[in-house]
Amino acid sequence: MRRIDLSAHGISVADVRRNLSPAELYAEAIRLEPDCAIADSGALIAYSGAKTGRSPKDKRIVRNPASENDVWWGPVNVPIDDDTFKVNLERAKDYLNTRSILYCVDAYAGWDPAHRLKVRVVCSRPYHALFMHTMLIRPSREELMAFGEPDAIIYNAGRFPANRRTHGMTSKTSIDLSLESKELVILGTEYAGEMKKGVFTMLNYFAPKRNILSMHCSATADRETGASSLLFGLSGTGKTTLSADPKRLLIGDDEHCWSDTGIFNIEGGCYAKAIDLAPETEPDIFQALRFGAVLENVVYDQDSHHVDFHDTSITQNTRGAYPIEFIRNAKIPCVAGHPTHVIFLTCDAFGVLPPVSRLTPAQAMYHCISGYTAKVAGTEMGVTEPQATFSPCFGGPFLVWHPMKYAGLLAEKIRRHKVDVWLVNTGWAGGAYGVGTRMKLGLTRAIIDAIHAGMLGDAPVAADPVFGLHALTACPNVPSEVLQPRQAWADKAAYDATARKLAGLFARNFAQYAGQVTPDVAQAGPTA
């Protein structure tokens, strides 16, 4: 058993088990965590307790003179003072020091050795250690021996609550980050995703300081040429599904950086939604959830240990974490050259955006800052019509700088490397949700394939009178009537009214950024 002395970090527990193998962590989990089990596929089943998703309203960043002018303060980045952070840090260490056994994971964030971050995770649950062993980049034996002191450290005391009487606390949950000490403290939530997104939040601060763009996107590469492509999109737009393309190599499904030499995945694993997972629809993900993977908050048969991926009685947010090399077409190491295409995905439940449009650099900035998609009626109580959702840079909850910082870096890299940018609507056609139908996955794949094959560079376009988009009117294997949304609506007046309504929502959302962008970007949105 490999052990490490963490007394320099204020951890007095003598038995701290470092970088245990998946087999060892399985044994620890089954021995010490009564709720853990092994699925018939071989994955470890674990439960995160009361919190089965992230707690974005409980994320806080220390306000420090060294970084306070960099941070986009507000509902995304709630400030706390250094004393409060130290109180919570001490509370976390006090809890961890009551445990007889702790787990330490030393690993990397970032596949490019020139830009990787050495991350140390200290936790009390084998499930959390296995999760981060999976989601970070696992060091070789030689790298682990030379690891030294970490660049960043996570203290996961999620089983212990924050003290609600502590200044600035609004609940028993608090996820606190100090940019100066590079320490993340987790109290009051055992949801493993908080660790993953905590690492991403750190890189979202430090990467742009080095002119590296951190991105909430998936990435693929051509099997023969190696040319890469980025797919941005919020939940439900098809980002993960479309990146699982057997014709291409997978760089990663969620978090990447774009440096002066190309792109690289931040993570060593994938964290996929497991609701309704089936081998027929997601064969690559389904087969990846085997020994070494973690299945989170799923329901299983107590006798056969067969998982029912359709059962959402615990949560709709069932998840599976697995090493990226479990995907058969993964490109290892997960790095590639500069992308030739950037694709923004949106699921427009209003049914008015074109299926595919070519964007100018100014439009690319506008739609990056907007980060639009739409919830459909019926997905939440009281939602009877499509609801627009705007998340800047398609990753608002994880930004540290103002969205303009990321959008500006993206625009600069697009111009320098002559990248084509596209807006692809995976949502509704022929009417809004409830009237029209969702774009068939096969048609969207045909569009993405045509983009990657370079077949749309000279395709004819028509100017959209409301959104100002250059909508393509021809695409191989896609009927022309599908590409022109107004023509697909039986009620043209209803289309016009719905388009104006969505345009107004875009304008109202973008008003908060209008004073901070150049005139060409401000004018790149809807015109009506």
341 phi, psi to nearest 5 deg: -140, 140
Identified catalytic residue from 115, 239, 367, 452: 239
CB within 8 Å of 336: residues ≥ 6 apart: 219, 221, 226, 227, 228, 251, 262, 263, 264
247 is catalytic: no
CA 218 to chain centre: 8
Is residue 201 within 8 A of residue 407, CB to CB? The reply is no
pLDDT, averaged in runs of 10, over the chain (528 residues)? 92 98 98 96 97 94 98 96 97 98 98 98 98 98 96 98 91 97 98 98 98 97 94 89 90 96 97 93 92 98 98 95 96 97 97 96 95 71 73 96 95 96 96 92 96 95 94 95 92 96 96 91 88
How many folded domains does the chain comprise? 1
The residues with which 357 forms a beta bridge, in sequence order, are 423, 471
Q: Does the residue 303 lie in any domain?
A: no
Helix (H) or strand (E) holding 205: helix 193-209
Asked if residue 450 lies in contact with residue 456, where contact means CB atoms within 8 angstroms, the answer is yes
Task: Tell me if 405 is assigned to some domain.
Answer: yes
Domain annotation covers residue 486:
yes
- 293: which 2 tokens? 């993977």
Residue tagged active-site, from 125, 216, 367, 452: 216
Which amino acid makes up residue 317?
A: N
Q: Give the active site residue among 55, 166, 181, 235.
A: 235
Provide the 3-class DSSP secondary structure of residue 11.
coil
Give the number of residues written for the chain: 528
Give the pLDDT confidence score for residue 94 in this predicted structure: 98
According to DSSP, the residues that pair with 388 across neighbouring strands are: 374
Active site residue 253: no
* Residue 498 annotated in active site: no
Per the residue annotation, which of 17, 93, 118, 319 is the catalytic one?
A: 319
CB atoms within 10 A of CB 139: 18
Coil, helix or strand at residue 237 = coil
What are the tokens at 88?
Answer: 């919570």
Q: Domain for residue 516, yes or no?
A: yes
Helix orientation angle between 193-209 and 126-135, rounded to the nearest 10 degrees: 40
10 Å CB burial of residue 207 (0-12, 13-18, 19+) is buried
- The DSSP-derived string for 343-411 is EEEE--TTS-S-SEEEE-HHHHHHHHHH-EEEEPTTSSTT--S-EEEE-GGG-GGG--S-HHHHHHHHH
Q: Give the span between the Cα atoms of 115 and 84, in whole angstroms.
A: 31
The single-letter DSSP state of residue 172 is: S
Q: What global pTM score does this model have?
A: 0.94
Q: Does the active-site annotation cover 197?
A: yes
Edge-to-edge strands, sheet with 37-38: 37-38, 44-46, 294-296, 319-323, 269-273
Pairwise CA distance, residues 16 & 100, whole Å: 9
388 domain residue, yes or no: yes
Cα distance between residue 173 and residue 55, in whole Å: 8
Task: List residues bridging with 300 in a β-sheet.
Answer: 307
| Catalytic residue (one of 245, 254, 348, 420) | 254
**Residue 201 annotated in active site:** no
Q: Which residues of 333-361 are buried (b: 16+ CB within 10 A; e: fewer)?
A: ebbbebbbbbbbbbbbbbbbbbbbbbbeb
Whether 79 is covered by a domain: the verdict is: no
Catalytic residue among 54, 60, 358, 375: 54
The reply to whether 48 belongs to the active site is no
Q: Is 2 a catalytic residue?
A: no
Residue 419 domain-assigned? yes
**Euclidean distance between CA atoms 338 and 213, whole angstroms:** 12
Catalytic-role residue among 214, 240, 259, 444: 240
* CATH code of residue 398: 3.90.228.20
Could you confirm whether 311 is annotated as catalytic?
no
3-state secondary structure 264-316: EECCCEEEEECCCCCCCCCHHHHHHCECCCEEECCEECCCCCCEECCCCCCCC
Domain range for 482: 339-435+458-522
Q: Which one from 120, 159, 197, 375 is the annotated catalytic residue?
A: 197
In a domain, 440, yes or no: no
Query: Helix 361-370 crosses helix 403-416 at what angle (to 10 degrees)?
Result: 150
Residue 236 is predicted with a pLDDT of 82
The strand pair at 339-346 and 228-232 is best described as parallel
